[in-house]
Structure 1
Amino acid sequence: MAEHSVVNEDLVTVGRLTAVYGVRGWVKVHSFTEPMENILQFSRWWLQDPGAKGQGKWQPLEIDAGKRHGKGLVVHIKGVDDRDVAAQYCQRDIAVAGSEMPQLDDGEYYWHQLQGLQVVSQFEGRECRFGEVVRLMETGANDVMVVRGGDDGRERLIPYLPGEFITDVDLDAGVITVIWDPEF
């Protein structure tokens, strides 16, 4: 791994190195991509600097092999053939350049684009500010936005169902408009 780290706002977190696998430099990967194997298609990975949690510092990471293993993925870090050395890379996030992310159709968004947006409800002619999207969850039936803060400081779980509860997503304004009862 290179000695330097970079600070780059254009990076998107796409997974995490979790644990060593075997004794020859392989590590397990928890992929946030769908399907999980898509993480292997990115040409350049960045690994979170271990001393810079939350500060956006990343180091380049070269992978020379990757494959599905059981229900997950494993990758080999280039130049690392020792379990103890590989362990130093674990429990760190993986990011890729936002420019490498596939283009989406109109009306489709990546989760990272929705996080941090303000959520406003237009319910029965009243406007209520619910706060910001702090994260999204996959529930099986549909994705759910976890929204916190706003006028009453509550946390709300709002199904991400465009056309039903989600009426507008305006990335430029940083606002998601929903139809959701403030009492719920």
Structure 2
Amino acid sequence: MVIGKVIGVHGVGGELKVQIISEDPHRFGRLERIYAGLEDSEPVPWLLERFRLHKGHALLKFAHCSDRNTAQTFRGYLLHVPLEEAIPLEEGEYYEYQILDLDVWTVSGEHLGKVVEIIDTGANDVYVVRGAYPGHPEILLPAIESVVIEIDLESDRMVVELPEGLL
């Protein structure tokens, strides 16, 4: 499960600046090992030496990364934890990886496309749906109970009630 993405470096000592993709930013401080890799590669374990928060990002120092030049080579890497180490969710809550790529259908049976992105607005998430609805290459759906009627992970399917005037 992805919990962060390396977006840059901090200082000259090899710290990585990480975009946090987790409900709990402090979880990094409880980890000894984080798995890292590019999107199309198998993640490998990295030993975490130090963690701190700075201006909304995590700054992480790993054992194998001791200077700025080395740190820069890891820009774009995704940071993972095994699913068994994931933070348990409440009933009706989902991890982002579970929502991405779901097929989205209206309650009347129209296929709208797939969830390709999740935008965090602060108030609620917004699902970006692309691909199937004529004349609307992209649909932004608020992730609220009155809109998202059902999520069926076994069928890779989401059913929505479109707010009036959305299309």
The TM-score normalised by the length of structure 1 is 0.80
SS in 2 for 1:127: coil
**Residue 48 (structure 1) aligned with residue 37 (structure 2):** yes
Which runs of no fewer than 5 residues in structure 2 stay unpaired?
none
CA distance in 1, matches of 2:113, 2:31: 34
Within the candidate set 86, 99, 102, 2:84 is matched to: 99
Contact 2:31–2:48 (Cα < 8 Å) also in 1: no
CA distance in 1, matches of 2:88, 2:9: 33
CA distance in 1, matches of 2:23, 2:93: 14
Give the ranges of 4+ consecutive aligned residues of structure 1 lying more than 4 Å apart after TM superposition: none
CA distance in 2, matches of 1:145, 1:36: 22
**Residue 72 (structure 1) aligned with residue 57 (structure 2):** yes
Alignment root-mean-square deviation, CA: 2.0
**CA-to-partner distance for each residue in 1:19-51, whole Å, 9 max, x for gaps?**
2222222221211112322233344311114xx
**CA-to-partner distance for each residue in 1:64-113, whole Å, 9 max, x for gaps?**
11112243221111143222222222332212212211221221111111
- Compare 126-135 and 28-37 and name the one that shifted more: 28-37
Equivalent position amino acid for 1:158 in 2:
L
Distance change in 2, residues 1:87/1:118 (3 Å): same
**Residue 34 (structure 1) aligned with residue 16 (structure 2):** no
**How many residues are aligned here?**
165
**Residue 57 (structure 1) aligned with residue 42 (structure 2):** yes
Contact 2:32–2:49 (Cα < 8 Å) also in 1: no
Distance change in 2, residues 1:128/1:79 (3 Å): closer
Within the candidate set 88, 113, 135, 2:73 is matched to: 88
Contact 2:13–2:66 (Cα < 8 Å) also in 1: yes
Identical-pair percentage: 27
Which runs of no fewer than 5 residues in structure 1 stay unpaired?
1-11
The TM-score normalised by the length of structure 2 is 0.87
Equivalent position amino acid for 1:45 in 2:
I
CA distance in 1, matches of 2:117, 2:22: 15
Contact 1:48–1:93 (Cα < 8 Å) also in 2: yes
Contact 1:115–1:136 (Cα < 8 Å) also in 2: yes
CA distance in 2, matches of 1:141, 1:37: 21
